[in-house]
């Protein structure tokens, strides 16, 4: 048995393909049933979000498992496997563990550090448990992943990394629009309306109360994923007068619009919305340009000379870099934000989480290797106990005159001899199990002592409540 993950995400596939690959909650049980009904998949969990669809599985063989899972993804997407294969990634055993731990910590998200993925992973695991296809192998993996995710979000400031990028981007955009520099000074009167010594006018202190960065601005959001939702929230807090959400899928645009009191439109409405907007924030994850040079150029004559700022949070870019050459148009992208952002703190948080993931992956793999050896040790002890029991029975029949005290001494001596002979190899094999190739020592024990291939498994039942409370 081995762990396997096959999937596609915002880094490997365009938005249209990710939408085709999406698996709804209602469809999940059937997908899980079809997966485990395949020849090489024994357990499965399906993780499907707006930015990824991944299948985690315990498989009999690597190549057979990849083939079964890839075929299932091909059926979900409704496209030929040959066309889909170039967008898929495959991670096996240690790399599969590392990938899941990185995903649940937000390191693999479009918006680095976003915490929503933690709940999505928990939901996917629960769906697998409910379907009865996430048990011994995957339950341990997902319990460990959820603990790592909670540690990452509670012990570091990784949550703030993505939020910082959006917040800094909006402040820079506001500055480019001139909203900050043109804001009127608002004098603040001291308590009691203090009067100057001349007695003619109130004396004022504290020169200004700064208005919100986007006070009165009209904002167009293109994309309704996690980044778009955070951008809507941040723009609303920054004082935007009007926010419009445009997305390829109307239902997703409507969902974000409802959450943040916005208006939802389709991508076909972009020409009109760009004409009206002051700030355009794009984060679709599309594989090609969403806003091209000619689309922006066509909108400029009707804008009356108002400045227009684009904030491109997508990777690869959504906005044609050529719009920078258009009069009155500014473009901010992720590279510009990295320069303005306190990159040292963000980098520190990301590196801290990566170090945490690395340590936790090593620990999980050590425990898994030791767990694989444990059934062999149990089988060896059971085999020895059966041999001792049989030999003592024969000895007792040959020495019927021994009293209880004498028999107790004989039985104790035999069992101590066996225990001492087995102690060193069983302890040592468990120590060696944590090293690379540790499984080979258990295999050697099975061969040397002629143990059955099917050995009792030591499995602990998952307790998701403990995961959530930890």
Residues 112, 106: contact at Cβ < 8 Å?
yes
Q: List the one residue out of 66, 65, 62, 75 whose CA is nearest residue 30.
A: 75
Candidates 117, 106, 125; CA nearest to 357 is: 106
d(CA 14, CA 325): 27
What sign has the CA pseudo-torsion 115, 116, 122, 124?
A: negative
Task: Indicate if 77 belongs to the active site.
Answer: no
Cα–Cα distance, 214 to 175 (Å, whole number): 9
Q: How far apart are CA 66 and CA 91, in angstroms?
A: 10
Rounded Cα gap, residues 381 and 379, in angstroms = 5
How far is it, in rounded angstroms, from Cα 166 to Cα 164? 5
List phi, psi (to 5°) of 142: -75, -35
Cis-peptide, bond into residue 316, ω within 30° of zero: yes
Q: What is the DSSP string of 236-304?
A: HHTT-SEEEEEESSHHHHHHHHHHHT-EEEEGGGHHHHHHH-SEEEE----SS-SB-HHHHHHHGGGGT
Catalytic one of 50, 77, 105, 262:
50
Check: CB of residue 277 under 8 Å from CB of residue 220.
Answer: yes
Task: Count the neighbouring beta carbons within 10 Å of the beta carbon of residue 288.
Answer: 11
* Of 353, 314, 367, 351, residue with least CA distance to 102: 353
How many helices (DSSP H) and strands (DSSP E) are in the chain?
18, 10
Quickly count: other Cβ atoms within 10 Å of residue 368's Cβ: 20
**29 contacts: CB under 8 Å, gap ≥ 6:** 127, 130, 131
Task: Report the half-sphere exposure of 273 (CA within 13 A, side-chain side).
Answer: 24
Assess contact for 9 and 117: CB atoms under 8 A.
Answer: no
Is the Cα dihedral 35, 36, 38, 39 positive or negative? positive
DSSP 8-class letter at 195:
B
**Which are the catalytic amino acids?**
50
């Amino acid at each position: 048995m081995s762990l396997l993950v096959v999937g596609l995400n915002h880094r490997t596939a365009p938005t249209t393909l990710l939408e085709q690959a999406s698996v709804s909650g209602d469809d999940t049980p059937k997908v899980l049933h079809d997966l485990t009904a395949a020849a090489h998949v024994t357990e499965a969990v399906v993780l499907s979000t707006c930015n990824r669809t991944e299948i985690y599985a315990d498989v009999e063989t690597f190549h057979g498992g990849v083939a079964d899972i890839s075929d299932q993804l091909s059926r979900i997407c409704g496209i030929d496997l040959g066309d889909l294969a170039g967008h898929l990634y495959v991670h096996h055993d240690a790399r599969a563990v590392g990938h899941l731990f990185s995903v649940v910590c937000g390191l693999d998200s479009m918006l680095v550090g976003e915490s929503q993925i933690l709940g999505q992973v928990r939901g996917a695991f629960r769906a697998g448990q409910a379907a009865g296809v996430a048990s011994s192998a995957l339950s341990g993996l997902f319990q460990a992943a959820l603990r790592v995710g909670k540690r990452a979000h509670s012990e570091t400031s990784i949550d703030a990394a993505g939020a910082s990028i959006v917040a800094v981007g909006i402040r820079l955009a506001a500055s480019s629009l001139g909203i900050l520099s043109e804001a009127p000074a608002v004098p603040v009167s001291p308590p009691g309306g203090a009067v100057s010594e001349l007695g003619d006018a109130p004396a004022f202190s504290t020169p200004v109360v700064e208005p919100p960065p986007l006070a009165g601005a009209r904002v167009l959001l293109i994309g309704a994923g996690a980044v778009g939702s955070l951008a809507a929230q941040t723009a609303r807090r920054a004082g935007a007068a009007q926010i419009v959400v445009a997305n390829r899928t109307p239902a997703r645009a409507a969902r974000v619009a409802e959450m943040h009191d916005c208006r939802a439109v389709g991508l076909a409405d972009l020409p009109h919305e760009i004409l009206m907007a002051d700030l355009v924030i794009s984060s679709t994850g599309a594989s090609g340009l969403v806003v091209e040079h000619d689309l922006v150029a066509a909108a400029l004559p009707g804008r009356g000379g108002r400045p227009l700022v684009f904030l491109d949070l997508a990777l690869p870019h959504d906005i044609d870099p050529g719009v920078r050459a258009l009069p009155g148009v500014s473009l901010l992208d992720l590279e510009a934000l990295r320069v303005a952002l306190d990159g040292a703190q963000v980098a520190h948080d990301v590196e801290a989480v990566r170090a945490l993931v690395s340590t936790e992956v090593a620990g999980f793999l050590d425990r898994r290797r030791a767990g694989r050896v444990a059934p062999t040790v149990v089988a060896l002890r059971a085999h020895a106990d059966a041999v001792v029991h049989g030999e003592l029975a024969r000895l007792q029949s040959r020495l019927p005159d021994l009293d209880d005290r004498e028999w107790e001494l004989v039985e104790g001596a035999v069992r101590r001899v066996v225990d001492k002979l087995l102690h060193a190899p069983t302890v040592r094999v468990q120590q060696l199990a944590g090293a690379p190739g540790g499984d080979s020592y258990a295999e050697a024990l099975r061969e040397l002592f002629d143990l059955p291939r099917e050995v009792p498994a030591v499995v602990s039942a998952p307790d998701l409540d403990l995961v959530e409370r930890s």
